[in-house]
Amino acid sequence: MKQSGGSEEQKRRAGEAAADEVEDGMVVGLGTGSTAAHAIRALGERGVEVEGVPTSFESRQRAVDAGIPLTSLDESSVDLAIDGADQVAGDALVKGGGAAHAREKYVDASADRFVVVADPSKEADALDAAIPVAVLPDARPVVAERVGGLGGEPTLRAAERKDGPVVTDDGALVLDCEFGRIENPGELATALCGIPGVVEHGLFVDLADAVYVGTADGVRVTE
């Protein structure tokens, strides 16, 4: 997968600034990845009285480590979700570098407010990153064929530290699908949703309310 070129300081600034939006009593959607991790840590350090809805096993563990009590969508609705992104262009995002985009999408989309935290390496004029598509394992060949029909080149994501594919927290496999420059993310998002066997894809269109980009000396916020 694409490695982020941003610095840890930039990520930290973005994550901490987003955490500053959180107030006592809120239910917070806890995103996955290294930038969202700064927000989770900052929430714990600030000691605000919140509950968290994790978007992955990873963010669940980070919340436990930060002392943030957990809740679920069965019991609570999310006031504010804070989550990272692999690429940001206008009102569209690519997510799923951590293979958590299925849970991230429904938690982020359900939030009253969804704030993206990123570093400048994630910003682009147009999306051109590979789109992670989570698929039911047995459906992989037919989904790959349909992705090809849409002009994409799918690659099964391999696990980094062992033989075999990446398996998501929900038991899906991930096809990273190269489409080149994506001129109409909304259209592609709809087409990917229509493929039988797709669990969720990593195109997030019109879901974010704000983007916090950590820079060399501050944070740039786009509402």
CB 28 within 8 A of CB 52: yes
**Least Å from the CB of residue 86 to ligand 5RP:** 5
CB atoms within 10 A of CB 22: 22
On whether 85 is known to bind a ligand per the annotation, the reply is yes
On whether 84 is known to bind a ligand per the annotation, the reply is yes
**Least Å from the CB of residue 213 to ligand 5RP:** 12
Q: Near ligand 5RP by CB under 6 A, which window of 32-40, 44-52, 63-71, 141-149?
A: 32-40
Secondary-structure percent of the chain, ordered helix, strand, coil, rounded to 5:
30, 30, 40
> What is the Cβ-side half-sphere exposure of residue 218, based on CA atoms within 13 angstroms?
2
CB atoms within 10 A of CB 7: 15
Q: Near ligand 5RP by CB under 6 A, which window of 30-38, 43-51, 62-70, 186-194?
A: 30-38
Taking only Cα atoms into account, the Rg of the chain, rounded to an integer number of angstroms, comes to 17
> What is the Cβ-side half-sphere exposure of residue 177, based on CA atoms within 13 angstroms?
31
**Least Å from the CB of residue 170 to ligand 5RP:** 12
**Least Å from the CB of residue 132 to ligand 5RP:** 7
**Least Å from the CB of residue 90 to ligand 5RP:** 18
Which residue, 142 or 169, is less far from ligand 5RP as judged by CB?
A: 169
3-state DSSP assignment of residue 117: strand
On whether 86 is known to bind a ligand per the annotation, the reply is yes
On whether 76 is known to bind a ligand per the annotation, the reply is no
On whether 71 is known to bind a ligand per the annotation, the reply is no
Residue that the structure tokens 């968290």 belong to: 52
Residue that the structure tokens 């037919």 belong to: 142
On whether 2 is known to bind a ligand per the annotation, the reply is no
CB 1 within 8 A of CB 203: no
The verdict on 35 binding ligand 5RP (CB under 6 A) reads yes
- Helices 8-19 and 34-46 sit at what angle, rounded to 10 degrees? 50
Which residue, 128 or 142, is less far from ligand 5RP as judged by CB?
A: 128
Q: Which of residues 74-133 bind ligand 5RP (CB under 6 A)?
A: 83-86, 95-101, 104
Which residue, 3 or 125, is less far from ligand 5RP as judged by CB?
A: 3
The verdict on 32 binding ligand 5RP (CB under 6 A) reads yes
CB 30 within 8 A of CB 62: yes
Residues annotated as catalytic are 104
Residues that bind ligand 5RP (CB under 6 A): 4, 31-36, 83-86, 95-101, 104
